[in-house]
Amino acid sequence: MNLTGLDQLWVYLSGNPLVSLLATLVAFYLATHLHRLAGHSTFAHPVLVAIALLIGFLLLTGIDYASYFEGAQFIHFLLGPATVALAIPLFDHRERVRRMLVPILVACLAGIVTAVSSTLGIALLMGAQPEVLLSLAPRSVTSPIAMGIAEQIGGIPSLAAALVLLTGSIGCTLGPWIFRWLRIEDPSVKGFTMGLAAHGFGTAYCFASVGAMAGAFAGLAMGLTGMLTAFVLPAIVALFGV
């Protein structure tokens, strides 16, 4: 095949969903391995690495984001049913929730209000732009829900997704240090806190480093926080007059 032939083939392929889909899966696979090589560091989380790899790939090949997304939207679409599926772990923990209903609800609301108002407050004081501010607001909620919320209140969903991932990494780094400082020993408290503040990252961290009990509570907190934030956040944003 001569050079023009290759060129034409590439033009055909790069406009085809196949390349984006394949690149996304391969990048994720490579990222998972890199994460293991990096000793499971939270800053080398597979999602962050996969995103970095894909951005590098797109910049190198000159494919723009819109054409990439045309293919990748098939993966993206599954976020909807995955969000719905979060009801399953929530249902599995219903007994535990019923027993600790009041403390859990109070702590969950306190955490959400702290997360949203400190985020908006600090960013407002420092003069963030409105779109950035609205994308920051849902940052402690698991990505699929955060993206839905950001879109709903006028932020940028993809920026929100990236900020959520960074929040997860930061939460996993700060968490153990803060628990030591506040002398928190109860694993269910640790788990719930990590799940609330650092969503899926916190949950994975708890299963790996604290224990199954903490992991279950983290998963519970993640689902509950996502659901409550979706209802509470628009009100808080309106209160700040953004």
Among 90, 93, 207, 240, binds another protein (CB under 8 A): 90
Min dist CB 179 to another protein, Å, is 6
Q: Which is nearer to another protein, 1 or 183 (CB)?
A: 183
Min dist CB 7 to another protein, Å, is 25
Among 2, 81, 98, 241, binds another protein (CB under 8 A): 81
Residues numbered 173-202 forming contacts with another protein, rule: CB under 8 A? 174-175, 178-179, 181-182, 184, 186-190, 192-194, 196-198, 200
Min dist CB 39 to another protein, Å, is 18
Total of chain residues touching another protein, rule CB under 8 A: 110
**147 in contact with another protein (CB under 8 A):** yes
Among 19, 72, 134, 218, binds another protein (CB under 8 A): 72
**144 in contact with another protein (CB under 8 A):** yes
Min dist CB 6 to another protein, Å, is 26
Question: Distance between CA atoms of 62 and 66, rounded to whole angstroms?
Answer: 12
Among 151, 207, 240, 242, binds another protein (CB under 8 A): 151
DSSP string, the chain: --HHHHHHHHHHHHTSHHHHHHHHHHHHHHHHHHHHHTTT-GGG-HHHHHHHHHHHHHHHHT--HHHHHHHHHHHHHTHHHHHHHTHHHHHHTHHHHHHTHHHHHHHHHHHHHHHHHHHHHHHHHTT--HHHHHHHTTTTS-HHHHHHHHHHHT--HHHHHHHHHHHHHHHHHHHHHHHHHTT---HHHHHHHHHHHHHHHHHHHHHHHT-HHHHHHHHHHHHHHHHHHHHHHHHHHHHHT-
Residues numbered 203-242 forming contacts with another protein, rule: CB under 8 A? 213, 223, 226-227, 230-231, 234
Residues numbered 29-68 forming contacts with another protein, rule: CB under 8 A? 45-47, 50-51, 54-55, 58-59, 65, 68
Question: Distance between CA atoms of 165 and 184, rounded to whole angstroms?
Answer: 25
